[in-house]
């Protein structure tokens, strides 16, 4: 699968990285000169692909890009609506040259709507969807998880799902199409389960007072003796019983469904977890069904026995980084490489020589 990526930052490049890690032949078209993130081994959002420099403000540069697009299965771009059209690389132009092309567009607000041409970032996108309102465990203000939820959860993930779905359609019908992946749409979609809980009245309390946002004492974080944290997620009755038994609290803890005594239960848990270090609790609960885990730093996570056994983190050019996901039994993914600089002419020669198009 051949992918042309028009260089951008954040969710667009991550979508291209996912495709590259899964085996696609991705070519990133960069503007000439120094790159924003350097393009070296630490620039993980551009790993596993070739980078070519093309001046898209020149007629010859646009024509060279179109020749690559003519050979591609997928084009990814993350510019504001109308920008690629002004460059001469809009959907109509590209699909005229390559009718089977899947044209993936990554934006925050989408291609249409009153805010389509406005600037924005992850924080503003998740704010307007209503999702940010419910994030966090304190009533005084929402809390946001850096830019994982909007850019990469609601953005990159759905762009990849969209272009792969459209690629299946193109291979069945011979007709490509435009995929409009908006972070506001994807983030709203990620909230589907919570929307159902709200509709049923099971997620209706203020922030931090519901089952999955820290509102129950058996699904929250607890501070340990060494001022670290453990995560407790013993929602199901059998897991709750295991938690209580492992803590030696069966004779003193209130029943799980005694909601009026949840404050008392939380106080008991707080006092108990404060008596030992995080590492002690991690060892104590390892392999049990109590659903307790240490809150690790990224460096600690890379060394954790379970993640190490699965090679969840890998080291490339002395840079520790997440491995590709998911796993495949018949077509395992190859070890990623750092981005490689090439020339558009070299890529074009290789692509046309290996073209499967009629």
Determine what percent of the chain is predicted with pLDDT higher than 90.
90
By mean pLDDT, which of 3-17, 26-40, 163-177 is the weakest?
Answer: 26-40
Asked if the model's pLDDT at residue 357 lies above 60, the reply is no
Asked if the model's pLDDT at residue 358 lies above 60, the reply is no
φ and ψ at residue 35, rounded to 5 degrees: -100, 150
What's the rounded mean pLDDT across residues 192-200? 95
Query: What is the reported pLDDT for 139?
Result: 83
Measured CA to CA, the distance from residue 306 to residue 309 in angstroms comes to 5
Measured CA to CA, the distance from residue 212 to residue 220 in angstroms comes to 8
pTM of the model: 0.94
Q: Annotated catalytic, 213?
A: no
Asked if the model's pLDDT at residue 190 lies above 90, the reply is yes
Asked if the model's pLDDT at residue 46 lies above 90, the reply is yes
Asked if the model's pLDDT at residue 220 lies above 80, the reply is yes
Q: Annotated catalytic, 117?
A: no
Centroid of chain to Cα 125:
15
Asked if the model's pLDDT at residue 35 lies above 70, the reply is no
Query: What is the reported pLDDT for 356?
Result: 59
Provide DSSP, 154-179. Answer: IIIHHHHHHHHHHHHHHHHHS--EEE
313: DSSP letter: E
User: Tens digits of per-residue pLDDT, 284-318?
Assistant: 999 999 999 999 999 999 999 999 999 999 999 99
- Whole-number Cα distances in Å, 150 to 104, 188, 247, 249: 17, 9, 37, 40
- Cα–Cα–Cα angle for 156, 115, 206, nearest 5°? 75
β-pairing, 2-6 with 74-77? Answer: parallel
Measured CA to CA, the distance from residue 75 to residue 68 in angstroms comes to 10
- Using 50, 70 and 90 to split pLDDT, how confident is the model at 260? very high
Peptide bond into 252 cis (omega under 30): no
Which residue is catalytic, options 21, 30, 122, 151? 151
Mean pLDDT for all residues in the chain: 95
Query: What is the reported pLDDT for 337?
Result: 92
Query: What is the reported pLDDT for 36?
Result: 65
By mean pLDDT, which of 12-21, 32-41, 295-304 is the weakest?
Answer: 32-41
- Cα–Cα–Cα angle for 257, 261, 265, nearest 5°? 90
Which residue is catalytic, options 43, 121, 284, 289? 121
Determine what percent of the chain is predicted with pLDDT higher than 70.
98
Query: What is the reported pLDDT for 245?
Result: 98
What's the rounded mean pLDDT across residues 171-189? 98
- Using 50, 70 and 90 to split pLDDT, how confident is the model at 37? low
Query: What is the reported pLDDT for 318?
Result: 93
Contact by Cβ (8 Å): 174, 73: no
């Amino acid at each position: 699968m051949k992918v042309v990526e028009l260089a951008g930052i954040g969710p667009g490049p991550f979508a291209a990285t996912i495709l590259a890690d899964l085996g696609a032949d991705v070519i990133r078209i960069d503007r000439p000169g120094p790159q924003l993130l350097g393009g070296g081994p630490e620039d993980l959002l551009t790993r596993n692909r070739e980078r070519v420099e093309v001046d898209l403000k020149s007629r010859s540069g646009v024509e060279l890009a179109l020749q690559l697009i003519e050979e591609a299965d997928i084009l990814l771009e993350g510019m504001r609506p109308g920008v690629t059209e002004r460059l001469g690389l809009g959907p109509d132009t590209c699909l005229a040259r390559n009718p089977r092309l899947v044209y993936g567009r990554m934006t925050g607000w989408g291609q249409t709507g009153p805010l389509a041409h406005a600037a924005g970032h992850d924080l503003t996108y998740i704010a307007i969807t209503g999702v940010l309102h419910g994030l966090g465990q304190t009533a005084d203000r929402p809390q946001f998880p850096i830019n994982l939820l909007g850019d990469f959860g609601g953005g990159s993930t759905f762009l990849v799902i969209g272009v792969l779905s459209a690629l299946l359609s193109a291979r069945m019908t011979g007709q490509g199409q435009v995929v409009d992946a908006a972070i506001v749409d994807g983030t709203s979609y990620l909230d589907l389960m919570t929307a159902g809980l709200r509709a049923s009245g099971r997620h209706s309390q203020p922030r931090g007072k519901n089952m999955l946002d820290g509102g129950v004492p058996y699904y929250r974080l607890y501070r340990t003796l060494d001022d670290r944290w453990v995560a407790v997620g013993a929602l199901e009755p059998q897991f709750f019983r295991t938690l209580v038994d492992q803590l030696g609290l069966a004779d003193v803890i209130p029943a799980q469904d005694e909601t009026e005594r949840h404050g008392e239960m939380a106080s008991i848990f707080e006092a108990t977890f404060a008596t030992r270090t995080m590492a002690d609790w991690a060892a104590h609960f390892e392999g049990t069904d109590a659903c307790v885990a240490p809150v690790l730093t990224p460096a600690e996570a890379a060394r954790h026995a379970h993640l190490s056994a699965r090679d969840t983190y890998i080291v490339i050019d002395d840079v520790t980084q997440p491995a590709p996901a998911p796993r495949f039994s018949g077509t395992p993914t190859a070890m990623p490489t750092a981005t490689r600089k090439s020339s558009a002419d070299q890529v074009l020669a290789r692509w046309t020589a290996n073209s499967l198009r009629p």
